[in-house]
Amino acid sequence: MVKLSLRLMANTDDNILKKVIAHAKEYGFVFPSSEIYDGLAAAYDYGQNGVELKNNIKEYWWKFMTRSHDNIVGIDASIFMHPTTWKASGHVDAFNDPLIDNKDSKKRYRADVLIEDAVAKIEDKIKKEVDKAAKRFGETFDAEMYLTTNPRVVEYQKKIDDINTRMKDAIEKPDLEALRQLIIDLEIADPISGSRNWTDVRQFNLMFSTELGSVAGDASKIYLRPETAQGIFVNFLNVQKTGRMKIPFGIAQIGKAFRNEIIARQFIFRMREFEQMEMQFFVKPGEEMKWYEFWKEKRMKWHKALGLGEENYRFHDHLNLAHYANAACDIQFNFPMGFKELEGIHSRTDFDLKSHEEFSGKKLQYFDTEENKSYIPYVVETSIGLDRMFLAVLSSAYTEEKLEDGSERTVLKIPAALAPNKVAILPLIKKDGLPEKSMEIMNDLKLDFNCYYEDKDTIGKRYRRMDAIGTPFCVTVDHQTMEDNTVTLRDRDTMQQERVSISSLKNRLADSCSLSALIKKIE
């Protein structure tokens, strides 16, 4: 069947996010946590399809980081760590967000995010001016020149630069009154109520704490880790020595992290319990910028290989460098809410190892046999949120299509290698031995590929259900199958069907759904 494919552009972005959330719940991807008790803010559970997609994303990352790079190994550190870890890392003293409340709506916001949103609005204005001019001047249009000479655009850019400078100063000092004044001067209103009646700005530590030990008096305060990275730093020497690792080398980890986020809206984009996939790359001091550029490029290639749209990614350099960094950027993704941070790449200097050396009194140095001396390595880190990656895949896969026959379908165009189920096995009718034959095919495939079996409803309805959960292939078993061992293979995206032999299925699926092939493409 020929189809007319169109992403429903009439949807507002907010609508798209709402649709993605509803779809994720209806089709077993993501449920609100403890929903029977009305849920818990910013906590979510992954359902039967969600967990498969999540595991595939993890595998894509893990295989790329640890198998494509001979000098990267993995670990799995515990969530609870000695409390001094968080003193040394700076989190006890400095893992704060500046928060501000609106007195009328009683809503709480991150002061820096309110200001960043105001900057984004001015950036949008610049973009609109550029788009308008591009239309007016046609092929002769020189965007670079326009950006530096058009008076209105230049003025917008100056405004952005001024705001950024003031925000950077206020955060670095920190000067919370200056941050509040910036919000007042920019006439920022509460996005919900429109009110400009703001409280003072206060610092808020994002770490969750609990107590270790059951006997009163023995108990000591410990934290749920707010990032996985420190588990890697404290194991630096263990891994280096037992793995006989030579610099440069990396340690990778996937695991839960916890942050008491001030505002946790926008679905799984900002959660209080989430998963990170982090890699710390230990390098010779002085070589960190080379490796920083190397990892920026590698990580961007990893993202783009998925085919979610090259235009949906961009780098964003950090204006306010964290206390430990000498260079840092984000890879931003075009989520339904706009371009936002998906992954961070940071050059962390020797801050962490040096600080752990001081606090623990243990030497955390590497003996470089080529240079015949010991030093504390520098670190370049790549840090991506698994749940944000999940949202990037899900929201860009969500497509509503109007077909040529006038009907509509919702299809998740998830990259085949990440799809929860690779193939659905569907007997055309529920008799004449077709279900048994289907089960035979399924049993042959199911250990290599996640399969789905379904024999209820019309074949058309079953295809739609598979489209809705992003299954790249449907195999239909009919009467001809019983005679010549062939089946119809339907492609999710093109909806084309072809007749293939059962014996060719394994190779067909392996070619289209292979994670290894996807990773090889990156090199």
Whichever of 346 and 492 has its CB closer to ligand ATP, that residue is: 346
Contacts of 259 (CB under 8 A, 6+ apart): 206, 207, 208, 226, 272, 274
Q: Give the three-state DSSP class for 213.
A: coil
Residue 385 found at the interface with ligand ATP (CB under 6 A): yes
* Strand runs labelled E in 172-294: 202-205, 209-212, 220-223, 249-258, 273-283
Query: Which one of 344, 415, 427, 470 is in contact with ligand ATP (CB under 6 A)?
Result: 344
Tell me how far apart the alpha carbons of residues 54 and 389 are, in angstroms, rounded to a whole number: 9
Q: Least distance in Å: CB of 269 to ligand ATP?
A: 6
Whichever of 56 and 488 has its CB closer to ligand ATP, that residue is: 56
Enter the tokens of residue 300.
């961007």
Residues 272-301 that bind ligand ATP (CB under 6 A): 274, 276
For residues 184-223, b (16+ Cβ closer than 10 Å) or e, as one string? eebebbbeeeeeeebeebeeebebeeeeeeeeeeeeeebb
Enter the tokens of residue 483.
């005679």
Length of the chain: 523
Whichever of 344 and 470 has its CB closer to ligand ATP, that residue is: 344
Q: Give the three-state DSSP class for 147.
A: helix
Enter the tokens of residue 7.
């992403």
Query: Which one of 24, 100, 170, 271 is in contact with ligand ATP (CB under 6 A)?
Result: 271
Tell me how far apart the alpha carbons of residues 300 and 388 are, in angstroms, rounded to a whole number: 15
Q: Least distance in Å: CB of 356 to ligand ATP?
A: 18
How many residues line the site for ligand ATP (CB under 6 A)?
16
Look at the block and give the residue holding tokens 């999940």: 390
Q: Least distance in Å: CB of 264 to ligand ATP?
A: 7
Residue 343 found at the interface with ligand ATP (CB under 6 A): yes
Q: Least distance in Å: CB of 206 to ligand ATP?
A: 8
Beta bridge partners of 99: 110, 202
Tell me how far apart the alpha carbons of residues 63 and 65 are, in angstroms, rounded to a whole number: 6
Query: Which one of 166, 180, 270, 298 is in contact with ligand ATP (CB under 6 A)?
Result: 270
Whichever of 330 and 401 has its CB closer to ligand ATP, that residue is: 330
Nearest alpha-carbon partner for 182 in 170, 194, 195, 173: 170
Q: Least distance in Å: CB of 346 to ligand ATP?
A: 7
Query: Which one of 341, 368, 444, 493 is in contact with ligand ATP (CB under 6 A)?
Result: 341
* Residue 195 CA, distance from chain mean position: 33
Whichever of 223 and 366 has its CB closer to ligand ATP, that residue is: 223
Q: Give the three-state DSSP class for 396.
A: helix
Q: Least distance in Å: CB of 123 to ligand ATP?
A: 17
Backbone angles phi, psi at 141, to 5 degrees: -70, 130
Q: Least distance in Å: CB of 135 to ligand ATP?
A: 34
Residue 384 found at the interface with ligand ATP (CB under 6 A): yes
Please classify residue 300 by burial: count the beta carbons closer than 10 Å to its beta carbon, then call 0-12 exposed, 13-18 middle and 19+ buried: middle
Query: Which one of 23, 166, 180, 259 is in contact with ligand ATP (CB under 6 A)?
Result: 259
Q: Least distance in Å: CB of 463 to ligand ATP?
A: 34
* 38-to-27, 175, 177, 419 alpha-carbon distances in Å: 19, 39, 38, 30
Query: Which one of 175, 261, 287, 493 is in contact with ligand ATP (CB under 6 A)?
Result: 261
Residues 452-491 that bind ligand ATP (CB under 6 A): none
Whichever of 322 and 459 has its CB closer to ligand ATP, that residue is: 322
Whichever of 267 and 463 has its CB closer to ligand ATP, that residue is: 267
Contacts of 279 (CB under 8 A, 6+ apart): 65, 72, 250, 251, 252, 253, 381, 382, 383
Whichever of 324 and 378 has its CB closer to ligand ATP, that residue is: 324
Residue 112 found at the interface with ligand ATP (CB under 6 A): no
Specify the stretch interacting with ligand ATP by CB under 6 A; choose among 77-85, 337-345, 351-359, 437-445: 337-345
Q: Least distance in Å: CB of 521 to ligand ATP?
A: 23
Q: Least distance in Å: CB of 383 to ligand ATP?
A: 4
Whichever of 64 and 274 has its CB closer to ligand ATP, that residue is: 274
Query: Which one of 288, 352, 387, 401 is in contact with ligand ATP (CB under 6 A)?
Result: 387
Tell me how far apart the alpha carbons of residues 260 and 278 are, in angstroms, rounded to a whole number: 20
Whichever of 288 and 343 has its CB closer to ligand ATP, that residue is: 343
Whichever of 259 and 303 has its CB closer to ligand ATP, that residue is: 259
Q: Least distance in Å: CB of 276 to ligand ATP?
A: 5
Amino acid identity, residue 469? I
- Starting at the edge strand found earlier in the chain, the sheet holding 378-385 runs 72-74, 249-258, 273-283, 378-385, 338-349, 327-335, 313-317
Tell me how far apart the alpha carbons of residues 282 and 248 are, in angstroms, rounded to a whole number: 6
Whichever of 265 and 479 has its CB closer to ligand ATP, that residue is: 265
Q: Least distance in Å: CB of 410 to ligand ATP?
A: 26
Q: Least distance in Å: CB of 389 to ligand ATP?
A: 7
Whichever of 231 and 385 has its CB closer to ligand ATP, that residue is: 385
Look at the block and give the residue holding tokens 């679905």: 267
Residues 364-383 that bind ligand ATP (CB under 6 A): 383
Q: Give the three-state DSSP class for 95.
A: coil
User: Which residue sits closest to ligand ATP, CB atoms considered?
Assistant: 385
Tell me how far apart the alpha carbons of residues 11 and 23 are, in angstroms, rounded to a whole number: 15
Enter the tokens of residue 46.
């992954």
Residues in contact with ligand ATP by the rule CB under 6 A: 227, 259, 261, 270-271, 274, 276, 341-344, 383-385, 387-388
